[in-house]
């Protein structure tokens, strides 16, 4: 497997709008997958938001509860993406088109290298047809479970694409 042959860690950053629902869930799903495969030492995994509203806060309690039902622990605290991320993360994965454009704009304004590969997480889907991961924040509890279903599919597809 390619991953074990790398001396340098593979760095992955998941990004949504506020970094309290979708991206911390994707981060936790990816970490859980790496733990199951015994590969955590080969990766640096984080999440961020394009907005600054929730910096320092835990993930939305509804998302944490929905994830815990699947034995996935969301432990991260919200932060905002910054220009250093483009030098530190090989893969930056956006949850939707708007955040993808915002990430691209920030990179074009501030990044000094082309190290980061910016993609949409839904480019790696295999089961779901959604082009974007919907934001469950203003909806009901079932929206959080649906987002987790979508992310489990896409995160697994992403992992397969790099392994």
* Catalytic pick among 16, 21, 46, 64: 16
Determine the 3-state secondary structure of 91 from DSSP. strand
Domain 8-162 has CATH 3.40.50.2300: yes
* Catalytic pick among 21, 22, 60, 153: 22
Residues whose CB is less than 8 angstroms from the CB of residue 59 and which lie 6 or more positions away in sequence, other chains included: 20, 21, 24, 25, 74, 76, 78
Q: Tokens standing for 85?
A: 């991320």
* Catalytic pick among 46, 60, 135, 153: 135
Residue 60 to residues 133, 134, 138, Cα–Cα distance (Å): 16, 15, 11
Q: Tokens standing for 12?
A: 């992955």
**pLDDT tens by residue, 87-112:** 999 999 999 999 999 999 999 998 77
pLDDT of residue 2: 45
**pLDDT tens by residue, 56-68:** 999 999 999 999 9
* Burial letters 64-92, b for 16+ CB under 10 A, else e: bebbeeeebebebebbbbeeebbeebebb
Q: What CA–CA distance (Å, rounded) separates 150 from 163? A: 20
> What string of H, E and C letters represents the secondary structure of 12-56?
EEEEECCCCCHHHHHHHHHHHHHHHHCCHHHEEEEEEECCCCCCC
Decide if 22 is catalytic.
Answer: yes
7-11, 19-23, 67-71: which range is least confident on average?
A: 7-11
Decide if 135 is catalytic.
Answer: yes
User: What length is written for the chain?
Assistant: 163
What does pTM read for this prediction? 0.94
pLDDT of residue 114: 86
Decide if 21 is catalytic.
Answer: no
pLDDT of residue 7 exceeding 70? no
Residue 116 to residues 84, 124, 134, Cα–Cα distance (Å): 10, 17, 24
Domain residue limits, the chain: 8-162
């Amino acid at each position: 497997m390619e991953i074990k042959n790398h001396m340098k860690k593979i760095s992955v950053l998941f990004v949504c709008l506020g970094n309290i629902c979708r991206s911390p869930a994707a981060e936790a799903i990816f970490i859980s997958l790496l733990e199951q495969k015994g590969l955590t030492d080969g990766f640096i995994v984080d999440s961020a938001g394009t907005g600054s509203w929730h910096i320092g806060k835990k993930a939305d309690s509804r998302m944490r509860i929905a994830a815990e039902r699947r034995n996935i622990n969301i432990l991260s605290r919200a932060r905002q993406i910054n220009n250093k991320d483009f030098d530190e993360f090989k893969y930056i994965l956006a949850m939707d088109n708007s955040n993808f454009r915002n990430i691209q704009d920030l990179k074009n304004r501030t990044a000094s290298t082309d190290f980061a590969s910016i993609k949409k997480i839904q480019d790696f889907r295999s089961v779901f047809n959604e082009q974007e991961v919907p934001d469950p924040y203003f909806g009901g509890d079932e929206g959080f479970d649906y987002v987790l279903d979508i992310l489990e599919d896409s995160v697994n597809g992403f992992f397969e694409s790099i392994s």
